[in-house]
Structures are given as structure tokens and as C-alpha cells.
Structure 1
Amino acid sequence: MFQKLFAGLALGAALLAPALVPSLALASNCPSHYLDARAPEIKNPKLATATRELCYGVFGVVHSGVTRTPLWSAENLRADNLEAAEGLKRDNAFHAESRLPRGERAELADYARSGLDRGHMAPNGNMPDPRSQRDSFTLANMVPQDHEHNRAIWARIEEAVRKMAKKEGQLYVITGPAFLGANLRKVGNVLVPTHLYKVVYSPRQKLAAAWFTENRAQAEIQVIPVAELERIVGIELLPSLSRQQKERMLNLPKIRQKKARFTPRFS
């Protein structure tokens, strides 16, 4: 059923067309953020250009100097960290990532007057302390995101993940952008993703699934197997699992679709 849904996307993919090559494995410097200490493996060599891993306290990012966005963020999301995060004041300290070369990183000027949000991949709401919160506001953890999508659809997905993590005790989460089709656009020097995804793995249930949605207001939210998402984006997101395991579906909460309430823009 999913093959028909995504056939057009896969055929038209400009940046992320899957290539039949061995995985390009990254030896992670922050393995604790990943299931079985194994970071995602890039299947499409186009994506491997100018990639750099950035490790933070409670999340990790693999950044692309081509798109000037993360290819993914990774979290070992624990209930105790979420409890610590409750009540922390959001400081909106967006900043360019000084560890990245200037020619590969996003700058605040790229997003200025773009009409798009600086959308977190590892959410600020998951951060258990002020240092981690500041880390989450690096532009290396951001993608250009439709304002209503960020404040409505994506916010509800993030909240659903937090509720799951509190119930399960622990989740492994991989979040990232997809750049599909031939008509990609930029804000400044930063590529705008056409889609966003969030992979959730429950160690207790030993099951995973993914939300996948277009980067636009009122977009449909798909829940798909991890194996299907990997085919679409050209990255093996949970490399320690077999294909059969990745075809099985974790029961993800249904996300209600409704318009975002007005909030000040931070773009």
C-alpha cells in the first residue's frame, strides 16, 4: 500500500534518490544517542558530501554542508530527562554553529525575513537543563519549516513523542528532513526540505515506526514502516535492526489535525 503512495516521490527525487551502493557507515563519537550504539548509515553517496557529526549532551546531529541543515538528529529520550525539562524557560537563543565551516553552515541572516520558522529537529522541549536547551538552538539543529506546520502538526508530533517516552520510560528517536523532487528551493543558502520525518523505536516493545509529512500547512500525516522511510530518504536509519524488524509497526498515536494558534514568529 505504501509503494503506490510514494512511487512518484521516489521517481522524482533530486537529492535523495536511493543508490544501490553499500552503506556509508559513520563511526559515531556519541553512540549513546543511538539504538545499539549504531548511527544511521548513508546509502546514497550524494548525501555523504561535507557531512560532520556534532555531539551534544542529550542529542547528536549529523550535519550536511550541502543543505546546511542536519541530515538527522538523534535522541536517547528518557522519561527522567523529560521530567527535568518541564518548567524550563525557553530562551530562543538561536545561533550559528561555530564548529562548522562558514561555507557549510546556516547563519541567522539566511532565515531573516524568509517567512519560515527555524524548526528544531531535536526539540527544545526535550532538553533537561539550560546547557542542553542552548545547544538545541544551534542552527545545525534547524531546518527551514513552514510556520503553521511547525506550530501545529510538528508540535503535536513532538508532544506525542514526549507522552510516549514518559509511558515507555525510554525511546530512541531519529528526526530529519527529506528533499524530494526537482524543484527544491532555498532561504539564503539553506535548502528547504519538502518533507520531515520522525522515527520512534521502543526498547520495551522492540518495535519502531515513523511519522512522515510534507513541510506545509495542513499537510497529511503518514505513519509508515521504518523500512519504507529508509527507501525514500536513502539512509538506513536503524541499522542494527533487520529489514523484517523494520517492517513491523510500532503503534504511534494518531495526531489530530487542526490549525495552529497565532504565536509570534521567531524567523
Structure 2
Amino acid sequence: MTQAGICLDQRRMYRVHSTKIKASAIRAVFGILTALLATTSACSVETAAPASPTCASIHPARTTPALLNPKLATSTRPFCFHAFAILHSSVTRTPLYVAEHLTRASVEAARALNTRDNRFHAEPQLIPAERGELADYRGSGFDRGHMAPSGDMGNTADDYESFSLANIVPQDGPLNRNGWADLEGYVRDLTGKLGETYVVTGPAFASGNLKRLNGRVLVPSHVWKAIYVPGQGAGAWIVSNDRQQQWEVVSIATLAARTGIDPFPSLDRAAKAKVPAFPTFD
């Protein structure tokens, strides 16, 4: 399968249209979901698969994200870690998505963890031909960008697992260390305020001119993060994986159309159509 085979034709749709605010102001924005009229009803989706028993609580209605683009399903493998669930692709040698269920208690535990592991490592459950290696990232000019962030992990074992390259994508360095880090902190703050969030994060390969690190690990054109707060609403961010850092706030329906992944298949159509008043993180 060629790298173009997993690209989506919707790349022309990436336009910045959301209102931007300074990252320093994001911590004060907690009422953003109250205008959303999402519901927790669990509508059936034919492409959605039931979650494995060990990871069921990570997903709303115990339903995993759905791959709407069948090309993405080639050579994939699910992994259930203690604090997050991954669908890994041996075509991209990255995750296609990573799911978490954050709670006020889990955020408090993560904030209380004073040290971070920082031992990036190849995923031992994957054979070398299917996985990213440390050598692929070395000297590449890209950061090893977490999808489930280390900052969400509340104990040393979970933190070590977050440094598996199965949870990592090549990410633009300034984006990873600035706006993306602000987004991760914002989601934790929002969880602490509202009690719980379901979070799904992943790369998007919406370009016909993608590169591979070391001829192996596919570099995403964009990265995205979707959240769902039961009883409040859902929405997502998409940002270009480059120095321009073009941020968009979109509905779940728009995210699914652009990425080929529906992060929350159990939500009804009306909930997926809502565009939230989220901030962006320039």
C-alpha cells in the first residue's frame, strides 16, 4: 500500500476559520460546553466494533472509534494499555488514534506525579518491521509527539507506557512544545472542572506529498484531538503539523469526514454536528 493510499481527498477543506485567543487566557475558559445540546444516547454504527473488556471503560458506550476510510484499516493492531487504548498501523508505523478516559481523580493523580519517565522505547509487542524505532526519529528534525500525553499519567507504570513509540507520531517541535502542550493542559483543566472527559487523539495524513522518517515512519500533515463530556457536548481541534500551526475547531462530524475516523460512534447525529466554542492555541 502506498502512502498516498491512506491520504484523504478532503485535504482541501483544511481552512482556518475559528476565533483565536491567546494561550495564556485558556485556563479561564470553562463554560465553553454549556451551549452544546449533546446527548449520551448510544446510536448503533455499523463500522464500530465493541471494545475489548479490558479497555471498555475508556470508550463512551463501550464502543471503539470507527474507521470510516477502509484504507486506514490495512495492517492495524489494537493495544490496550492500562490508561489508554491504541489502534496502531504498521503502514504508518504510528497510532491511528489513542483513546483515554480522564476523570477529576486521574487528573489530580497525574498532577501529583512529580517525575516523568522520558524513556522512549520501541513497542515490544510489535515486530521491528511494523513499528517505529528510536533510530527513525534520531536527527529527523521532528519531536516524538505523544498522543496520550505523559502529563495525563498518574503513576510511573502508566507513564512508562506512554513513552512507547506506539503512542508517538513525528510532530513539529514548536507545535509539540507550545500550542499542543497548552491544549493538553487545557483538557486536563476542563476535566478537573467538569468531572470527566473522553479523549481521542490522532494524526491525519491529508496530503499527497507526505514524507517518511528514515523511509519508515509516516509524518502526519495534521494532528487532532477530540473530546466528549457526558451531558455537555463534544468537539475537536485540528492543527497543521508544521511551523504555520493552523488551528481549527470543528464538529465531530467534520473531524470524521476529514480524517476517516469517527472518535465517538455512539453519539447521535445532532451531537456530532455541533461546533463547540473551543479556544485555539497559537
TM-score range, shorter chain: 0.7 to 0.9
Aligned residue runs from structure 1 range 107-256, under 5 A:
107-188=133-214, 189-205=216-232, 207-252=233-278, 254-256=279-281
- Tell whether the 8 Å contact from 2:236 to 2:252 is kept in structure 1 after alignment: yes
Selected match of 1:63 from 79, 82, 88:
88
Gaps of 5+ in 1: 1-12, 258-267
CA 1:182–1:218: 2 relative to 1, 3 Å: closer
- Tell whether the 8 Å contact from 1:225 to 1:249 is kept in structure 2 after alignment: yes
Give, as a single letter, the amino acid of the residue that structure 2 aligns with 1:190: V
Report the TM-score when normalising by structure 1: 0.86
Q: Does 1:16 align with 2:7?
A: yes
| Residue of structure 2 in register with 1:263 after alignment | none
Q: 2: CA distance between counterparts of 1:180 and 1:33?
A: 27
Q: 2: CA distance between counterparts of 1:193 and 1:175?
A: 13
C-alpha displacement at 1:256, in angstroms? 4.2
SS of 2:243's equivalent in the other structure is coil
- Tell whether the 8 Å contact from 1:68 to 1:104 is kept in structure 2 after alignment: yes
C-alpha displacement at 1:219, in angstroms? 1.1
Q: Once structures 1 and 2 are overlaid, which stretch shifts more, 152-161 or 87-96?
A: 87-96
Q: 2: CA distance between counterparts of 1:18 and 1:62?
A: 22
- Tell whether the 8 Å contact from 2:8 to 2:205 is kept in structure 1 after alignment: no
Q: 2: CA distance between counterparts of 1:256 and 1:82?
A: 21
Gaps of 5+ in 2: 11-44
Q: Once structures 1 and 2 are overlaid, which stretch shifts more, 74-83 or 26-35?
A: 26-35
CA 1:204–1:245: 2 relative to 1, 3 Å: closer
- Tell whether the 8 Å contact from 1:18 to 1:43 is kept in structure 2 after alignment: no
SS of 1:70's equivalent in the other structure is strand
Q: 2: CA distance between counterparts of 1:93 and 1:202?
A: 32
Give, as a single letter, the amino acid of the residue that structure 2 aligns with 1:27: P
- Tell whether the 8 Å contact from 1:24 to 1:48 is kept in structure 2 after alignment: no
- Tell whether the 8 Å contact from 2:9 to 2:206 is kept in structure 1 after alignment: no
The list of structure 1 runs, each at least 4 consecutive aligned residues, that deviate by more than 6 angstroms after superposition, is: none
C-alpha displacement at 1:86, in angstroms? 1.3
For CA contacts below 8 A with separation 6 or more, give which structure has more relative contact order: 2
Selected match of 2:105 from 80, 100, 108:
80
Q: 2: CA distance between counterparts of 1:195 and 1:111?
A: 18
| Residue of structure 2 in register with 1:105 after alignment | 131
| Residue of structure 2 in register with 1:7 after alignment | none
SS of 1:103's equivalent in the other structure is helix
Percent identity, please. Answer: 44
Aligned length: 241
SS of 2:199's equivalent in the other structure is strand
